[in-house]
A and B are shown apart, each in its own frame.
Chain A
Amino acid sequence: MNDTLSKVLIVDDDEEIRDLLSRYLKQHSYDVNAVANGDEMRRALESGEPDIIILDLMLPGDSGLTLCRDLRARSDTPIIMLTARGDEMDRIVGLEMGADDYLPKPFNPRELLARMKVILRRARSMPKGHVPEQARFISFASWRLDTVERQLISLEGVVVALSASEYRLLRVFLDYPNRVLSRDQLMDQMHGRQGEAFDRSIDVQISRLRQRLGDDAREPVLIKTVRQEGYIFSINAMVEK
Chain B
Amino acid sequence: MNRILPKTLFGRMVLIMVLGLIIAQVLTTVIFYQERATFGSRTAANHFGLRMAETSRIFDRLPVDQRAGIAEEISTPEFAVSISGAALGDVVSSNEEHAEIIARGLRRHLGETRPIRVAVADQADGEFFQNDGKTILVQVGLRDGAWVTFKSSIGEPPGMLTSPRFLISMSIRLMTVIVLSLLAVRLLTKPLQTLAIAAEALGKDIHRPPLKETGPLEVQRAAHAFNTMQKRLVDFIQERTRILAAVSHDLKTPITRLRLRTEMLEDPKARAKFTNDLEEMEAMVSATLDFTRGLDRKEPLRDVDVMALLESLQADAEEVGHALTIVGKTERLAKADPQSLKRCLMNLLDNAWKYGGQVRVVVDDADGRLRIAVRDDGPGIPESEMEKVFEPFYRIEASRNRATGGTGLGLSIARNCARASGGELTLRNLPEGGLEAALLLPP
Contact = CB atoms under 8 A, between A and B. Distances in A.
Q: Does B associate with A?
A: yes
B255 interface: yes
A163 B260 contact: no
A198 B318 CA distance: 9
Interface centre among A17, A84, A109, A161 (most CB of B within 10 A): A161
B320 to A, nearest CB: 9
Contacts of A21: 260
A20 B249 CA distance: 20
A156 interface: yes
Interface string A81-103: 00011110000000000000000
A208 B315 contact: yes
B254 to A, nearest CB: 8
Interface string A130-149: 00000000000000000001
Give the size range of B's interface with the partner: 35 or more
B318 to A, nearest CB: 8
A163 B304 contact: no
B240 interface: no
Contact of A162 (B256, B257, B312): B312
Contact of B312 (A27, A156, A158, A163): A163
Contacts of A6: none
Interface string A72-85: 00000000000011
A107 B259 contact: yes
Contact of B252 (A106, A108, A200): A106
Nearest to B321: A197
Given A17-B256, A86-B289, A107-B259, A165 B309 contact: no
A121 interface: no
Interface of B is mostly: helix
B342 interface: yes
A233 to B, nearest CB: 20
Contact of A17 (B260, B286, B308): B260
Interface string A8-27: 00000010110011011001
Nearest to B316: A163
Interface string B296-317: 0000001111001101111110
Contacts of A85: 249
Contacts of B342: 161
Interface string B249-273: 1001101111111011000000000
Contacts of A158: 302-305, 333
Interface residues of A, number: 37
A199 B318 CA distance: 9
A110 B263 contact: yes
Nearest to A87: B293
B339 interface: yes
Interface in A40-88: 84-87
A108 B259 contact: yes
Contact of B319 (A27, A84, A198): A198
A197 B319 CA distance: 8
Contacts of A23: 260, 264
Contacts of A208: 315
A162 B289 CA distance: 24
A14 to B, nearest CB: 6
Contact of A166 (B278, B289, B315): B315
A20 B312 contact: no
A218 to B, nearest CB: 21
Contacts of A165: 315-316, 319
B350 interface: no
Given A158-B305, A159-B304, A161-B305, A17 B257 contact: yes
7 contacts: A17-B260, A84-B256, A106-B255, A158-B302, A160-B305, A161-B304, A161-B338
Given A17-B257, A24-B263, A84-B249, 11 more contacts: A105-B256, A109-B260, A158-B305, A158-B333, A161-B305, A161-B312, A161-B313, A163-B319, A165-B316, A166-B312, A166-B315
Q: Sorted from nearest, which 6 A-B pairs have the closest CB atoms?
A: A163-B315, A20-B260, A106-B255, A163-B312, A161-B309, A106-B256
